[in-house]
Amino acid sequence: METALPGTLSPGQFSLVYNMLSLAIASMLGSFAFFVMARSMVSAKYRPALVMSALVVGIAGYHYLRIFNSWEGAYELNAAGVYASTGHPFNDAYRYVDWLLTVPLLVAELIAVMALEANKRRTLMTRLSFAAVLMIALGYPGEVAEPGMMKHVWGIASSIPFVYIVYVLWTELGTAVQGQSGRVQELVRNIKLLLLATWGFYPITYLLGAGGILPQDGSAIVTIQVGYSIADILAKCGYGVMIYLIARAKMDADGEVA
C-alpha cells in the first residue's frame, strides 16, 4: 500500500513525523527489553502473557523501522528550505502487516494473564484471535480502495469484528474477573478502556479519510502518522506494562512469588 503524499512538507511537518516514528521505535525496543526481563518477575502461569507482550513490541519495532526508512526516503530538503517528494513511494502497508500479527496477540495476552481454566482460555483465544485477524483483513481492501461506496462497505465490514471483540471483553472477560481483588478488577477495567480508546482511533481516522473530511495537504498525513504512532505506543507498550501490572497484582492477591 503506497500512501499518496503531498508534493512538499515544511521542515516542521517532516520533522514531527520523523521524530514520532523514531520515538515509536525507541519505545518498542525499550519495552521489548523490559518484557523479556520481566518474565523472571512473575510466576510461571503468567509468563506466556509477558512473552506475547515482548513479541508484540518486537514485531512492531521492526515494522516501525521500515516505516521510518520509507518516510526518510520519500522526502529530501531542497534549496528552498522545504521537504520535497523524491518520487519514492511511502509504504504504509507495513502498518497492516504489523496489525495482522500483533492485534491477535494483544487480545491473547490479556486472556493469558487472566490464567483462566484451560478450555475457557482456548475458546476465548480462538474466537477473539480470529475476529482480530478478520478485522484487519477486512479493513485493508477499504484502505487501498478509491474513495467511494466500496470504501465505506469495507469499513463497515471491518467494524463488525471490532464490535464483537469489545462485546466479548466487556461481558465474558468482565465475568471472569469477578471475585478477583479490587486492584485486579481496576487494572482489567483500565486496560479494556485503553484498548477501546487506542483501537477506536484507527476506524475514526479511516472514516475521516474515506469521507474526504481530512484536508488533502501535508497536515493530513502528518496528523495520521503522528496519531497512529501515539496510538501504537499506548496500545502496545502501555498495554504490555498493564499486563505486567495485572500479573503482579494477581500474584500479590494470591500470596505468590516469582
- Per-domain residue ranges of the chain: 2-254
Give tens-digit pLDDT for 87-115: 888 888 898 899 999 999 999 999 988 87
Architecture of the domain whose range is 2-254? Up-down Bundle (1.20)
257 vs 15 pLDDT, higher one: 15
Residue 13 has a pLDDT of: 92
Q: Model pTM? A: 0.89
Residue 145 has a pLDDT of: 67
Query: Distance between the two ends of the chain, CA-based, in angstroms?
Result: 45
Question: 8: part of which helix (H) or strand (E)?
Answer: strand 8-9
d(CA 51, CA 118): 18
Residue 214 has a pLDDT of: 61
Q: How confident is the model at residue 255 (pLDDT cuts 50, 70, 90)?
A: confident
Q: How far, in Å, are 27, 137, 151, 199 from residue 144 at the CA level?
A: 28, 12, 8, 20
Residue 170 has a pLDDT of: 85
- pLDDT of residue 2 exceeding 60: no
